[in-house]
Chain A
Amino acid sequence: MSFFSEIPTMGRESLRDFKKGIDLNFKEFSRNYGDGIEGFFDPLLMFLVWLEKLLVNSPWPLVILVLAGLAWIGSRNWKLVAGTIVCFMLIGYFGMWKDTMSTIAIISVATLVCISIGIPLGILMSRSRKLEAGITPILDVMQTVPSFVYLIPIIMLLGIGKVPGLIAVCIYAVPPIVRLTNLGIREVDKECLEAVDSFGATSWQRLTRVQMPLALPTIFAGVNQTIMMALAMVVIASMIGVRGLGVPVLRAVSNQYLALGMLNGLAIVALAIIFDRVSQQYGKRLQKHREGRNL
Chain B
Amino acid sequence: MSDTKIKIDSLYKIFGNKPKEALEYVKQGVGKDELLEKHNHVLGLSDINIDIEDKSIQVIMGLSGSGKSTLIRHINRLIEPTAGNVLVDGSDVLQYDEATLRDFRRTRTAMVFQRFALMPHMTILKNVSLGLELQGKKDDEILNSAMKWIEKVGLNGYEDRYPQHLSGGMQQRVGLARALTNDTDILLMDEAFSALDPLIRKDMQDILLNLQAELHKTVVFITHDLDEALKIGDRIAILKDGIMDQEGLPVDILLSPKTEYVSNFVEDVNRSRVLKAKHIMEKANGSDLSKGMPVDENDFIESFIDRVVAEKPELIVVQDSDKKNIGSLTSKRLSEVLKK
Contact = CB atoms under 8 A, between A and B. Distances in A.
B135 A200 contact: yes
Given A197-B78, A199-B105, A202-B102, A292 B162 contact: yes
A198 B165 contact: no
A214 B113 contact: no
A196 interface: yes
A165 to B, nearest CB: 38
B interface, size bucket:
20 to 34
A289 B123 CA distance: 10
Contact of B78 (A194, A213, A214): A194
A200 B130 contact: no
Interface string B86-118: 000000000000000111111101110101011
B119 interface: yes
Contacts of B161: 292, 294-295
Contacts of B160: 294
A196 B111 CA distance: 10
Contacts of A213: 121
Most buried by B among A200, A214, A289, A292: A200
Given A194-B78, A201-B134, A290 B120 contact: yes
B164 A199 contact: no
A205 B160 CA distance: 22
B121 A195 contact: no
A214 B120 contact: yes
Given A292-B162, A294-B160, A194 B106 contact: no
Given A198-B76, A205-B134, A292 B164 contact: yes
Contacts of A196: 119, 130, 134
Contacts of A294: 160-161
Nearest to A287: B121
A258 to B, nearest CB: 51
Contacts of A194: 78, 113, 117
Contact of B117 (A195, A201, A292, A295): A195
B170 to A, nearest CB: 14
B182 interface: yes
B131 interface: yes
B115 A191 contact: yes
Contacts of B117: 189, 191-192, 194-195
Given A292-B162, A294-B160, A295-B161, A198 B115 contact: no
Nearest to B123: A292
A295 B123 CA distance: 12
Contacts of A295: 161, 165
A210 B118 CA distance: 11
Contacts of A200: 101-107, 131, 134-135
Nearest to B114: A191
Interface string A260-295: 000000000000000000000000000001111011
Most buried by A among B101, B104, B119, B165: B119
A193 to B, nearest CB: 9
A213 B120 CA distance: 10
Given A292-B165, A294-B160, A199 B119 contact: no
Nearest to B161: A292
Contacts of B113: 191, 194-195
Nearest to B99: A202
Most buried by A among B76, B106, B120: B120
A199 B78 contact: no
A198 B162 CA distance: 21
A126 B128 CA distance: 28
A191 B69 CA distance: 13
B160 to A, nearest CB: 7
A192 B119 CA distance: 6
Interface string B123-138: 1000000110111000
Contacts of B78: 194, 197-198
Nearest to B127: A195
Contact of A198 (B111, B120, B123): B111
A199 B182 contact: yes
A195 B188 CA distance: 12
A84 to B, nearest CB: 30
A22 to B, nearest CB: 43
Interface of A: 189, 191-192, 194-202, 205, 209-210, 213-214, 289-292, 294-295
13 contacts: A194-B113, A194-B117, A195-B113, A195-B117, A199-B130, A199-B131, A199-B134, A209-B130, A213-B121, A290-B162, A292-B162, A292-B165, A295-B165
